[in-house]
Structures are given as structure tokens and as C-alpha cells.
Structure 1
């Protein structure tokens, strides 16, 4: 039987969970996720789990934070003076924002703290610093 290898186009169904069992994403009820194995389109641990699977196989992959979205980094948390925010904006903890990088790319960020003169912004991925568990089923190669 054919096994998935680097360079193959594959389709998978998956459920992503935190270590406490909380589901954060799933392809259930949707089309399978399509990607190229080893092309860097997926987090490292997910890619590695699919590499070598046979069509129809199911695997549960426990992926440490370092092979998922990385560790939460302090240098990705920074202060922004309120004077740099739009004048009509009322910042709230947990609020999702988008920041523009010098190249024009939009980066999702979250308001971590709100103070009188500044807001603390966290640009880490929501799943940074978290170990993840994925139930994966390989449904097609090619």
C-alpha cells in the first residue's frame, strides 16, 4: 500500500486538542485538509505524523509546543502607547487586532492588558507554548 512521503499531496481529516481534551479545531463536517508533505505548510509535528502513513490509517500525534506553534516568546509581547491607536478605539483585554508590518503584511495580535496610557499587545500565536494532540486520518494521497 502507498505511504505518504515528502512531496506528496495528501488529504487528511483531523481533530486538534489541547492536553486537557479541549478541541480547538477539526475538519469534521468539512472537506479534508489538503497539503504537501514536508513543504512547511503545516506545523512540524503534524507534518512528521503524516509522513509514512498509509491511506485509511489513523494516528494520534502528541506534539510538543516546540514542534507546534513554538514557545510563547516574551519579545512578542510589547507596549503600545494609546496615542498610537485610532482615536475612537476602546481597547479591551482579549480583543483581536491586526498590526501592519513594514512590508504591509497584516499580523494578528491580541490585547493582553489595558493601562491608562498604553496597551500591552501579544503577537504570539494563540497556541504558542501549548502541547497539542491531533487525531489524524489519511484519506488520500495524490
Structure 2
């Protein structure tokens, strides 16, 4: 079977940045499973895996436009201290959560000011070229429920 729309792909991967620093990896654990063609992984990686079969190995470089996008400077802003719970300890690098127009969003505290905190709503990997070392372990047909829900269920997938 080949990676195509509606197929469940299991893979091991190691993700590094331009400096070679490992950002994430499934190696040493269970393979990562995703539903191909359902936007479960970044577009550039999904395109590179189209048609791949079990045993396929590759190094894939994904530009920001096909990954998490370019950094948007307008997504960095200052929020006054009164917008945070009074007992919340704010630290540079910590993550805070807010309600956005399309549901919850994650923001990173990038600086503290006398009156609040500078927050960044960009994905932490926005603007970065990503380097994947991937190995496809299995490809199978998705179940009707997985197709209906748009993600993998069961072991290594989403649990309901």
C-alpha cells in the first residue's frame, strides 16, 4: 500500500533545524501515525511522503511556507498584566493560552515589561526551515470512523 488520501501512515522521524539541533523525534518510541490527506501533518512533509510505501526512507527539507509559515511580526504584541490571572507567574519562554476567533490559541512569553508581557502568537517553528529524517514503517487503509473524524484512532492515534 502507498501513502495516499485516506491511508494511515506510520513512521519514525527525527526533526532538526538548520543548525542540526534535534527538535523532535519518534525514534526510541512508538512510530508516529497520521491520516494522509487530512492536514494532520505539515503540507511539505505530506507532499514528500505521497506515494511512499513501508520501508521508504528519506531526508526531507521543508521551507517555512510549506511548514509552519513565515514569522508574522503582527502576531507579536504586548498584553497588560491585568489580562492575566493575578496569581500567574509570567516568565520568558512560558506558554499561555487564550481564546482566539477560531478557538484556543497558544502564545509564548517573549519579554516582560513593567506593565505586562510581550507575547508571540506565531508557532514556535514559524520561519524555520525544517529537516526531517523519515522512515515509513506501515501504510494501511483508514477505518470509516477514522475517515469520518479526520484522524487516526487506536494505538498511536487519538483515543475517544
TM over 0.5: yes
Equivalent runs, 1:1-20 vs 2, <5 Å: 2-20=1-19
Q: What residue is the counterpart of 1:133 in the other structure?
A: 131
List runs of 5+ in structure 2 lacking aligned partners. Answer: 141-160
Q: What residue is the counterpart of 2:122 in the other structure?
A: 124
Q: What residue is the counterpart of 1:68 in the other structure?
A: 67
Tell me how far apart the structure 2 counterparts of residues 72 and 138 of structure 1 sit (CA, whole Å).
30
TM-score (norm 1): 0.91
Tell me how far apart the structure 2 counterparts of residues 94 and 32 of structure 1 sit (CA, whole Å).
29
CA-CA distance at 1:54 after TM superposition: 2.1
Query: In the alignment, does 2:23 pair up with 1:27?
Result: no
TM-score (norm 2): 0.81
Q: Secondary structure at the residue paired with 2:44?
A: helix
CA-CA distance at 1:55 after TM superposition: 1.3
* Count of paired positions: 140
CA-CA distance at 1:102 after TM superposition: 5.6
Of residues 129-138 and 7-16 in structure 1, the stretch that sits farther from structure 2 once superposed is: 7-16
CA-CA distance at 1:7 after TM superposition: 2.0
Report the RMSD for the aligned CA atoms in angstroms: 1.5
